[in-house]
Amino acid sequence: MTAGAANAAAGDCSPKYWCAWEHTNYQGDQWGSSYNKYNTTTYAPPFSYGSNDRFSSVSANGTSCAYTRFFEHADGKGKSFKLYSQTMKKTNWKDPMLSNGAGILSDGGSSENWNDRISSVWFEGC
Ligand SMILES: [Ca+2]
């Protein structure tokens, strides 16, 4: 673990943000954004370098947005899966291992391998 409050749980994500990590179990380089309809193919703060197709674990805390949807291609294209907001829904808001499926299948998740595949992230239900 690197930064963060001592009582922060693994995978916690700041309000208004979605969060992503380079490795499983919320390890390695971390990325996140409060921008809606974010393309990981395009550099923009707070990303310091390319993050496209690099996420291996993710979490979501859209706060006023009930869901966060992760897409396989830029601009919300291709297949996708959905996580809930940590603050709003308090369930199905993180996944420590995208390679074995993403999220909860019955709640908008996916049974496919999502490791190193995500290219855009949209907030929904705002
Ligand atoms: Ca998983």
User: Residues 22-45: pLDDT tens digits?
Assistant: 999 999 988 888 989 999 887 655
Å from CA of 103 to ligand 1 middle? 6
Share of the chain above pLDDT 90, in %: 73
Å from CA of 8 to ligand 1 middle? 21
DSSP 62-85: -TTSSEEEEESSGGG-S-EEEEE-
Domain boundaries, the chain: 17-124
Å from CA of 84 to ligand 1 middle? 14
Q: What is the reported pTM?
A: 0.90
| Each residue's pLDDT tens digit, 52-80 | 999 999 999 998 999 999 999 999 999 99
Report how far residue 85's alpha carbon sits from residue 58's, in angstroms, rounded to the nearest whole number: 12
Report how far residue 59's alpha carbon sits from residue 28's, in angstroms, rounded to the nearest whole number: 14
Å from CA of 3 to ligand 1 middle? 24
Å from CA of 101 to ligand 1 middle? 4
Token code pair at residue 15: 């309000």
Å from CA of 125 to ligand 1 middle? 23
| CATH class for the region spanning 17-124 | mainly beta
Q: How confident is the model at residue 2 (pLDDT cuts 50, 70, 90)?
A: very low
Average pLDDT of span 96-101: 98
pLDDT value for 7: 55
Å from CA of 21 to ligand 1 middle? 13
Å from CA of 9 to ligand 1 middle? 17
Residue 5 pLDDT > 60: no
Å from CA of 102 to ligand 1 middle? 4
How confident is the prediction for the chain on average, in pLDDT? 89
User: From the CB of residue 99, how many other CB atoms can be counted at a distance below 10 Å?
Assistant: 14
